[in-house]
Structure 1
Amino acid sequence: MPATTSLQSLHVMVWTALMASLIAVGSFLSIPLGPVPFSMQPLFVMLAGFLLGWPHGMIAALLFVAAGSIGLPVFAGGKSGLAVLFGPTGGYLIGFVLAAGAIGLLTQARKTTRTPGWLLGLLAGLIGLALLYACGVLNLIRVLDIGWHKALTIGFLPFILQDLVKLVMAVATWRIMHGRGLLPR
């Protein structure tokens, strides 16, 4: 294996671990609000997808979920364990993995020297958020035994506007890093 390929692999692994760590940091930047807290995790989940692409963005989110599942206090509010994964917010955790993967897959092909477009980023991010919210709301319905209306009221409506702002921040960061040649791919 050439040294360049080995160094590139190491570079991507370090970035993957960094993004998993940033998702964990995002969980500590949270405000408890009923069964689903406000947090900065979606920003870092989207960034993982944008910056790392497929499959490493998804792997970063999966590393975060695995770390919390085995007992590291990385979930919102310093929680951890399988009880969180199978509890009311577990669907959002699974949604993080799917969102980062989808965003990475949709933006992966954009490796040209041109700066990626806002439209591509916003579209990929909206699809990622749709997956995240679908998993989260469906899990709220299952775990809390509530209807669609109640699940959307507690698990979607209070969060969507702030997550759209986070999407714009993630796309802007992606575009800046791409334009400066700082992407880890």
Structure 2
Amino acid sequence: MTHNSLTDLHRLIWTSLMAASIGVGAYLIVPIGPVPVSMQPFFVFLTGYVLGPRRGVMAVGLYLLAGIIGLPVFAGGRSGLGHLFGPTGGYLFAWTLGAWFCGLARKNNFVIPWLRGVAFGVAGLISIYLVGAVWLKFALSIDWGKAVIVGVVPFIAWDAIKIVLALLVSRYLSSHGLLPGQR
């Protein structure tokens, strides 16, 4: 195998690994209402930081496809189109935006500067909350205030911690030369 094909294989493996990690995060939940607290956002942020915007979106898309075809990768081990289009569907779809924003923090550097990583992580989180809360409002036929109180407020502190942890992990992986395409 040539260097280029090994690099491509390494990136493909990382893309699959990150999609699988998002699915594993579905089993690490705290059920507090219609939208559970899970470790999935941590893996979504990490996916973007590790893979960059394009491959980050591809990994989240692969995760969503796995759930659509029936693999139990959604929160609580659920799957299928019914769950994807249920109250949490907006958050699931918006994870592509979250991974994309976090991936933008990488640019051409493997080590993401702290401020840049946090800023793009927060931008990704805001996009997830925006799409998720709008979807939740219409899926449950609730008013805007309730959608924000139920679908955003309980998660802000948790998700802020997840952004910082994902940034720490990606910086650690980078410092040890473990990221795809890194030599």
Give the alignment's TM-score, normalised by structure 2.
0.95
1:124 aligns with 2:120: yes
1:4 maps to 3
1:21 aligns with 2:20: yes
The alpha-carbon deviation at position 103 of structure 1 amounts to 1.5
Q: Which amino acid in structure 1 is aligned with residue 166 of structure 2?
A: A
1:152 maps to 148
How many pairs align? 181
> Structure 2: which 5+ runs fail to align?
none
2:107 maps to 109
Give the alignment's Cα RMSD to 1 decimal: 1.2
Distance 2:107 2:7 in 1: 18
The alpha-carbon deviation at position 102 of structure 1 amounts to 2.0
Q: 130-139 or 171-180: which moved more?
A: 171-180
Contact 1:110–1:116, Cα closer than 8 Å, also in 2? no
> Structure 1: which 5+ runs fail to align?
none
The alpha-carbon deviation at position 107 of structure 1 amounts to 2.1
Give the alignment's TM-score, normalised by structure 1.
0.94
Q: 2-11 or 68-77: which moved more?
A: 2-11
Q: Which amino acid in structure 1 is aligned with residue 160 of structure 2?
A: L
The one-character-per-residue Cα deviations of 1:92-132 (angstroms, maximum 9, x if unpaired) are: 1001111112211x1232426xx421001001100111111
Q: Which amino acid in structure 1 is aligned with residue 46 of structure 2?
A: L
Q: Secondary structure at the match of 1:55?
A: helix
The alpha-carbon deviation at position 178 of structure 1 amounts to 1.6
Contact 1:91–1:136, Cα closer than 8 Å, also in 2? yes
Q: Secondary structure at the match of 2:22?
A: helix
Which of structure 1's runs of 4+ aligned residues deviate more than 4 A? none
The one-character-per-residue Cα deviations of 1:13-65 (angstroms, maximum 9, x if unpaired) are: 00000000000000000122221011000000000000011211111111111
Contact 2:106–2:112, Cα closer than 8 Å, also in 1? no
Q: Which structure 2 residues correspond to residues 21-170 of structure 1 after superposition, within 5 A?
A: 21-104=20-103, 106-111=104-109, 115-170=111-166
2:174 maps to 178
